[in-house]
Structure 1
Amino acid sequence: MSDLAVLRTVELKGRVRDEDLAPPLGLDPTEAGRRLAALAARGLVTPVGKAHRLSEEGRTQLAVLLEADRGGVDGVALERAYDEFCSFNAELKSVITGWQVRADGSPNDHTDPAYDAGVLARLADLHLRVLPLLDRLGAIAGRLAPYSGRLQNAQERIAAGDTTWVARPIMDSYHTVWFELHEDLIQLCGRTRLAEAAEGRAL
């Protein structure tokens, strides 16, 4: 497990406990804790209660690692894939909005099983259609490869009936993982979230 993978996950999540870091990296919490302790010993992450966050040294080191990683990516292929991703991103925004707010603008209180089933069917359909793109992204940039499995895990949990995996922010939910993938794509393309938001492409 590279420093880049661990530091980037900490950055994306802001603060992580051992159990928060484990799922994105495919580690058990004990091993995740050892990784964080090793980074803390090097001054790259800072303990905050039971969690860790990036230190200033960690942010500097991560910026160097990200730039080096970006230099090894086929920029043309990535831009094409990102344009395709943005189309799916617009769909996902609509799905997540539908999960949270009904068409009349009222909050979705999830008391209408038929309505929720319709939203979840849209998510399942989108997931199946985006899988080939996820595989392609993993081939373009190796550190994107785990996103396919993470989204698949979330979708399987949803299909099994646990709808907290749709958009709950404190877990590896579909929305959380998608957001992190988008952040990595923005960085790899040399863009900023602010600029993407201005163009209507931020989730």
Structure 2
Amino acid sequence: MTTELRVLQALRLKGRATPQDVAAAAGVPAERLEPVLAELGAAGHCEQARDRFKLTKPGRAHLEDLLARERTAVDQAALAAAYHEFDAHNSAFKQLVTDWQLKDGTTPNDHTDAEYDAKIVTRLAELHAGFAPLVDTLVGLAPRLEPYPARFGAALAKVEAGEHTWLARPMIDSYHTVWFELHEDLIGLAGLSRADEAAAGRAE
């Protein structure tokens, strides 16, 4: 069930995804992913449009059933404590992304000030160092989350190497993209809704 669930959830989070996107998000090697996508397609749970795949309505319903079963196996008290800890990191990360996009809270950052950007990258590395142990804890609570440490690490490495689009650019596996998807997974694992979390100021 774990591979099927990982692939279906990756498709939900990505929307319309290439096999490469799904493989990275699900932590499934490409050679294993192809037959899984074929089986899901044959079952009517996903469909292909050119080089991309997406969930079908029956696939979304099947995914909800799998996620509900997964929740019953997760220590909800421990997850609630971890989610509370995540919330503090989430606030810091949202501020970091705001500062990356806006200087002084109002001026769009055109990224011509290398010193300013370097300070944000340093903050991201520091945030990552403090956040990584929590991600490991979350993986221990829900093993399906196992791809996240490597995904965060890969995005950070690219940012630190000067590829700054990997900090917050959508449509790639940027640090922000991975963060958003982890948050979505935590909301689901806790049996919450994004609408409720947004109303409480805990969701983007």
Indicate the SS of the match to 1:191. Answer: coil
User: How far 1:156 sits from its partner (Å)?
Assistant: 1.2
Partner deviation per Cα, 1:22-74 (whole Å, 9 max, x = no partner): 21233454543443233112111022232111011101110110000000000
Instruction: Give the aligned partner of residue 172 of structure 1.
Output: 173
**Partner residue, 1:119:** 120
Equivalent position amino acid for 1:89 in 2: N
The yes-or-no answer on 1:11 pairing with 2:19 is no
Q: Distance in 1 between matches of 2:33 and 2:149?
A: 21
Deviations 1:96-132 (A, max 9, x none): 1111111151211111001101111111100000011
Give the equivalent residue in structure 2 for 1:195.
196
CA deviations 1:165-187 (Å, max 9, x no partner) are: 10111111100000000001001
Write out aligned runs for 1:30-109 (5 A): 31-109=32-110
Distance in 2, matches of 1:92 and 1:7, equals 27
Distance (Å, rounded) in 1 between the aligned partners of 2:202 and 2:153: 23
C-alpha distance in structure 1 between counterparts of 2:49 and 2:170, whole Å:
19
Q: CA deviation at 1:83?
A: 0.2
Root-mean-square deviation over aligned CA pairs: 1.4
Residues 151 and 68 (structure 1), Cα distance of their counterparts in 2 relative to 1, 3 Å cut: same
Secondary structure of the residue aligned to 1:158 is helix
Equivalent-residue separation in structure 1 for 2:184 and 2:133 (angstroms):
19
Structure 2, unaligned stretches of length 5 or more?
A: none
TM-score of the superposed pair, with normalisation by structure 1: 0.95
Measure the CA separation in 2 of the matches of 1:55 and 1:115: 44
Contact 1:5 1:25 (C-alpha < 8 Å) held by counterparts: yes
- State the match for 1:142 in structure 2: 143
1:44–1:58 CA contact under 8 A, matched in 2: yes
CA contact (8 A) 1:78 1:140 kept: yes
Count of matched residue positions in the alignment of Structure 1 and Structure 2: 203
Residue 70 of structure 1 aligns with an amino acid whose one-letter code is R
Match of 2:108, SS? coil
Deviations 1:64-98 (A, max 9, x none): 10000000000000000000000000000001111
Q: For 1:200, what is the secondary structure of its paired residue? A: coil
Amino acid paired to 2:21:
D
What letter corresponds to residue 118 of structure 2 in structure 1? A
Distance 2:107 2:156 in 1: 26
